[in-house]
A and B are shown apart, each in its own frame.
Chain A
Amino acid sequence: MKLENASVARDRSREAVPGSAEGLTRDDRALLLRYMLLMRLSEERAITLYRQGKVPGSFYDGRGQEAISVGASFVLGPRDRACILHRDLGAHFVRGVTPDRYLANFMGRSGGVTGGKDGNMHFGDRQLGCVGMVSMLPDMAEVATGMALAFKMRGEPRVALTFFGEGSTANGQWHEAMNFAGVHQLPLVFVLENNQFAYSTPNELEFAVDPVERAAVYGFPGVKVEGNDVEAVFEAARVASERARDGDGPTLIEADTMRMHGHGAHDDMSYVPPQMFEEWARRDPIETYERRLLEQQGFSSEEMEAIRESCKIEVAEAAEAALASPMPDPRLALEGVFAERFEPLGDGQAPWSRWAGAAESAGNGHRNGDHGREARAA
């Protein structure tokens, strides 16, 4: 009996996600391209700064994975919450972080999101509904689980979304998060980025069973998508977030992709077979999407060139602003260990056209409610 159930569940996890996304306007599509470009160009600029010796410590980026963070986070409403990881710069931009604050954070400047308290991608803008990552993986999956638990306890139609790599699925905390999310059918979207390597360790040494298959045994669907197709990722996240918002529980989305840079800037990727790298290079998410917009969505090359040009200008200006930002006052190193008072997170930017006007109505009904009296089954 158990076996039969498991096989039914596995079939469900293999459901294909439709290639073209619902609910995207022409402007939305331009934005998807824009955020991916903004991520690519910002990270390229950051590498230059690193090579110029302006970035203390090491450098990490998400080259080749832009479609995942942009496509998945694009579904979020203002009051949804995200835990964004180190290959997911695009999600920060979607939620409203600007490239100057990203670059300043890498350089340890006072204008960085953490003001120099933490480096590189270890940030989350609390004003934009984001809780920043820690280096231990996948710790944020459990934090996101707790946020979703709060939403469910208070009966709020909100979603928590978090990212992690396939490497994280080997860690016990991943199991703890998946299991708890399944037990309480929490409003969660787990986005698994399978970028083929955990640092240098290939998939075949990471797991015996594809992690997406495991979702079913935790009691919720797992769906696999082409991670370099921004609309496929968006569509999977849209379906998953609607499921979550409707009270139908979590979803695990596995997005197949490839980390096109080393784990960090110090890593020469000598462990990646050249043929594999070339194959993925042909599937670049930005070039792929540009072609699709041109061939299928009626975008002109001039239009797309204008998007690229505006991103270039924005990143160039951001770099100037970041470089002009002073280093933090050393006295600040001793401040902020303890909170004086609780302040709720702010809401994130929600650029998807679906949310137009949502920010104004967000206060109705769900904000500042009496948590205890509204508590519902968790």
Chain B
Amino acid sequence: MGEMTYLDAISDGLREEMRRDGSVFCFGEDIGVFGGAFKVTDGFVDEFGKDRVLDAPLAENLIIGAATGAAIEGMRPVCEMQFADFISCGFDQLVNVAAKMHYRQGVAVPMVVRLPSGGGFSGGPFHSQNPEAWFMQAPGLKVVAPATAADAKGLLASAIRDPNPVCYLEHKGLYRHVKGDVPEGEYTVPLGEARLAREGDEISVIAYGSAVHLALQAAEELGEEIEVLDLRSLCPLDTDAILATARKTGKVLIAHEATQSCGVGGEVAALVSEHCFEDLDAPVRRLTTPDVPIPFSPPLEQRVLPQLDDMKEACRELLAY
């Protein structure tokens, strides 16, 4: 067990899996000698060679499509979208070819698509998006979004070992700001299991990714009995854990950085209202980015992305209900 950043934990998980299984290879733009736009694969070429840390031309459909073909033929590709936003350019191969492959033909596609997502650094409308809800509307894709360094490593390993296409959302804002103890060597975290990040019995904040850290900080600063459930996996969703915390506190706030309509929050709210109606003591609330593109200029961006004060205010309102 050693402390490392979220970013280093991703690299560590990837490196361990590449050492364990010779069929695992990385495929993406500028990931080879350059080590990737965020340096996740820094130094990988030296250990694994250029073929297993393969620089792709600027062609996202090719990255996803060729990875699909290689996966069908027994390789375990880990694709890197330079920014999650660019998955739009590879969307056809992802949702039409890879996602539907097993349902239509019984052909497994064991691949991972790493998606550096999230805003907060003036990335503007095309380098800040949180596109997870797009994938949840495409049956056949699994979706994970780690919040901690340990989960970043463990979920990546599980995603690589899973026989299905897995969208792995790594929040750029967490890369160097989040540190934590990470088990050494091989380490997996099962897909589909939420993590109880903080126990409490007054309200539940159900979150994932960057919003988990906002929720934890808000809970500390407010000094209230706030439970925080970190979803970690968005598909499959850990329905049991969601319903358990909702029943326990009777007050649910769902928080994420992605935009609101038809998002994860809407889905979780529906689950809670369908199954926990009689346990609820307050309306289910959501704290999300409003339905706007992510603006560039800092004051504009801060206005739309959920901030700590927004989280505290949302918690206070729900506590007082």
Contacts and interface: CB of A to CB of B under 8 A. Distances in A.
A123 B23 contact: no
Name, among A132, A134, A148, the residue most crowded by chain B CB atoms within 10 Å (CB to CB).
A134
B67 interface: yes
B69 A145 contact: yes
A373 B22 contact: yes
A145 B23 contact: no
Contacts of A370: 22
Interface string A361-378: 000000000111101111
B164 A338 contact: yes
Name, among B67, B103, B142, the residue most crowded by chain A CB atoms within 10 Å (CB to CB).
B103
Nearest to B18: A372
Interface stretch (B53-61, B148-156, B263-271, B272-280): B53-61
A180 interface: yes
Given A180-B57, A336-B103, A142 B74 contact: no
Given A371-B75, A376-B51, A122 B69 contact: no
Interface string B88-118: 0000110011001111111111100000000
A151 B75 CA distance: 10
A344 B74 contact: yes
Nearest to B109: A339
Contacts of A336: 102-103, 106
A64 B74 CA distance: 36
Contacts of B5: none
B92 A343 contact: no
A146 interface: yes
B25 A139 contact: no
B73 A339 contact: no
Contact of B92 (A136, A345, A378): A136
A372 B57 contact: no
A120 to B, nearest CB: 12
A132 B105 contact: yes
B65 interface: yes
Nearest to A114: B104
Contacts of A140: 97
A132 B104 contact: yes
Contacts, number: 161
Nearest to A184: B54
Contacts of A144: 69
B54 to A, nearest CB: 6
B165 to A, nearest CB: 10
Given A176-B59, A340-B163, A372-B23, A142 B66 contact: yes
Contacts of B71: 146
A355 B21 CA distance: 33
A238 interface: no
Interface string A321-354: 0000000000000001111111111000000000
A340 B164 CA distance: 8
A143 B68 contact: yes
Chain B interface size, under 10 / 10 to 19 / 20 to 34 / 35 or more: 35 or more
B113 to A, nearest CB: 14
Given A372-B21, A375-B49, A377-B51, A131 B105 contact: yes
Nearest to B69: A146
B51 A378 contact: yes
A222 interface: no
B61 A131 contact: no
B282 interface: no
B23 A177 contact: no
Interface string B61-83: 11011111111111101000000
A139 B105 contact: no
Name, among A135, A177, A371, the residue most crowded by chain B CB atoms within 10 Å (CB to CB).
A371
B283 interface: no
A322 to B, nearest CB: 19
A337 B96 contact: no
A183 B55 CA distance: 11
Interface string A170-199: 001100110110010000000000000000
Contacts of B77: 146
Contacts of B93: 139, 142-143, 173
Contact of A117 (B23, B59, B103, B139): B103
B57 A339 contact: no
A342 B92 contact: no
B52 interface: yes
B37 to A, nearest CB: 20
B306 interface: no
Name, among B65, B71, B110, the residue most crowded by chain A CB atoms within 10 Å (CB to CB).
B65
Nearest to A341: B163
A64 to B, nearest CB: 28
Contact of A372 (B52, B64, B72): B52
Contact of B62 (A134, A145, A147, A371): A145
B209 interface: no
B62 A139 contact: no
Interface string A116-156: 01100011101000011011100111111111111101000
A146 B57 CA distance: 14
Name, among A141, A337, A338, A343, the residue most crowded by chain B CB atoms within 10 Å (CB to CB).
A338
Contacts of A142: 61-62, 64-66, 68-69, 93, 97
Contacts of A114: 104-105
Contacts of B164: 338-339
A81 interface: yes
B291 to A, nearest CB: 28
3 nearest interchain CB pairs?
A372-B22, A146-B69, A142-B65
Interface of B: 21-25, 49, 51-52, 54, 56-57, 59, 61-62, 64-75, 77, 92-93, 96-97, 100-110, 139-140, 142, 163-164
Given A142-B69, A337-B102, 17 more contacts: A124-B107, A132-B104, A143-B66, A143-B93, A146-B65, A147-B69, A151-B73, A153-B25, A173-B65, A173-B92, A176-B61, A177-B65, A179-B59, A179-B62, A183-B57, A339-B164, A372-B24
28 contacts: A126-B106, A131-B69, A131-B105, A134-B96, A139-B93, A142-B62, A142-B93, A143-B72, A143-B93, A145-B66, A146-B66, A146-B71, A146-B72, A146-B73, A147-B69, A150-B69, A150-B75, A160-B69, A172-B61, A176-B62, A177-B62, A179-B62, A180-B57, A336-B102, A338-B140, A339-B110, A342-B163, A371-B74
